[in-house]
C-alpha cells in the first residue's frame, strides 16, 4: 500500500494549533497527528482524520508515543507545525526566579530540539516542511517578558541553524513570528499586564485589532505545504503591521 500524506501538529489543543488542524483539513491530507498536553478536545469526533497523542514537552520520553505511532503508520510526513509555547509571568528580569527561566527555555525551545532529534528519520524521509511558532516579541524586546523573549530568540536561532543543517535532506524549516493573536493566551497576557479595558487596548493596536488565529494558522499551513513556498527555507516571517 503506498504511503499517504500526513502532517504533525504540536500544541494542537491551543488556539493556533486547533485552527492549524482546520486549515490542514482543507488540504489533501489523509492523516493528521496532533498532540495534546492535558486533555484531548472534548469533541474529538469533529476532527476527522486526526489522531490525538499525549505529549509532555518537559519529558524526554514523551516523544516515544509519537515515534511509535509514526512507525506503525504507513505515512509520508509532509509537515510538522510546532505550536507549543507558554508565557512568562511578566515580572522584570530582576524579579524572575531561575525556575521560570528554565521552564520557559525547556518548553519553548528545548522540546523542539528533542522532538526533531527523535523524529528526524521520519522528517527526512518525508522531506517534510517544518514551521515553528515564535513571536514578534523577539523584534520588540519589551520589558517584563524576559524569559519568554529569550526562549523564543533561542528557538529562532535553533530553527535557523536546523534549516541549514537539514537542507541536504530536503527538509525546509521556517519561522512565523506573530504579534498578539485573538486567543485565550492573549487574554491571559493582557490580564498579567493589568489591562482591564480590552476594547480601549485594541484601539492602540495597528488596524485596531489583534491577528486572528486563522491568519496565523493558514500562513503556517501554506508555508509548509503550498507549492509556491517550496524554495523558501531558513526564513523568519513576522506576522505584524509595521505602522
Ligand X SMILES: NC(=O)c1ccc[n+]([C@@H]2O[C@H](COP(=O)([O-])OP(=O)(O)OC[C@H]3O[C@@H](n4cnc5c(N)ncnc54)[C@H](OP(=O)(O)O)[C@@H]3O)[C@@H](O)[C@H]2O)c1
Binds ligand X (CB under 6 A): choice among 8, 11, 138, 224: 11
120 three-class SS: helix
- Candidate ranges 49-57, 72-80, 92-100, 194-202; the one touching ligand X (CB under 6 A): 49-57
Based on CB atoms, which residue is closest to ligand X, 55 or 76? 55
Based on CB atoms, which residue is closest to ligand X, 36 or 116? 36
> Residues touching ligand X: how many (CB under 6 A)?
27
Name the grid cell of 225.
Answer: 505545504
Closest to 153 in 3D by CA, of 122, 183, 132: 132
Closest to 153 in 3D by CA, of 184, 175, 179, 180: 175
| Angle of CA points 160, 27, 216, to nearest 5° | 50
58 three-class SS: coil
Does position 146 interact with ligand X (CB under 6 A)? The reply is: no
Q: Please state the closest distance from residue 35 (CB atom) to ligand X, in A.
A: 6
Which residues in the 171-230 window bind ligand X by CB under 6 A? 178, 180-181, 183-186
- Candidate ranges 32-40, 166-174, 200-208, 219-227; the one touching ligand X (CB under 6 A): 32-40
* Helix H or strand E encompassing 98: helix 98-105
φ, ψ of residue 78 in degrees (nearest 5): -95, -30
Contact residues for ligand X, defined by CB under 6 A: 11, 13-17, 36-38, 55-58, 83-86, 107, 133, 135, 178, 180-181, 183-186
Amino acid at each position: 500500500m503506498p504511503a499517504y500524506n500526513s502532517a504533525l501538529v504540536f500544541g494542537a489543543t491551543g488556539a493556533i494549533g486547533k485552527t492549524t488542524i482546520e486549515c490542514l483539513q482543507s488540504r489533501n491530507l489523509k492523516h493528521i497527528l496532533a498532540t495534546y498536553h492535558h486533555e484531548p478536545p472534548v469533541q474529538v469526533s469533529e476532527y476527522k482524520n486526526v489522531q490525538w497523542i499525549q505529549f509532555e514537552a518537559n519529558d524526554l520520553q514523551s516523544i516515544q508515543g509519537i515515534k511509535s505511532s509514526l512507525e506503525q503508520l504507513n505515512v509520508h510526513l509532509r509537515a510538522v507545525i510546532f505550536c507549543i509555547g507558554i508565557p512568562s509571568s511578566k515580572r522584570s528580569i530582576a524579579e524572575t526566579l531561575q525556575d521560570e527561566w528554565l521552564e520557559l527555555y525547556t518548553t519553548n525551545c528545548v522540546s523542539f530540539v528533542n522532538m526533531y532529534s527523535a523524529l528526524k528519520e521520519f522528517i527526512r524521509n518525508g522531506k517534510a516542511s517544518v514551521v515553528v511558532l515564535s513571536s514578534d516579541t523577539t523584534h520588540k524586546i519589551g520589558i517584563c517578558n524576559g524569559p519568554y523573549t529569550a526562549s523564543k530568540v533561542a528557538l529562532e536561532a535553533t530553527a535557523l541553524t536546523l534549516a541549514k543543517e537539514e537542507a541536504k535532506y530536503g527538509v525546509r524549516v521556517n519561522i512565523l513570528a506573530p504579534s498578539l493573536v485573538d486567543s485565550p493566551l492573549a487574554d491571559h497576557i493582557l490580564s498579567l499586564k493589568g489591562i482591564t479595558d480590552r476594547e480601549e487596548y485594541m484601539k492602540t493596536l495597528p488596524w485596531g485589532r489583534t491577528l486572528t488565529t486563522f491568519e496565523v494558522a493558514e500562513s503556517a499551513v501554506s508555508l509548509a505545504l503550498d507549492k509556491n513556498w517550496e524554495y523558501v527555507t531558513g526564513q523568519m516571517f513576522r506576522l505584524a503591521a509595521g505602522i
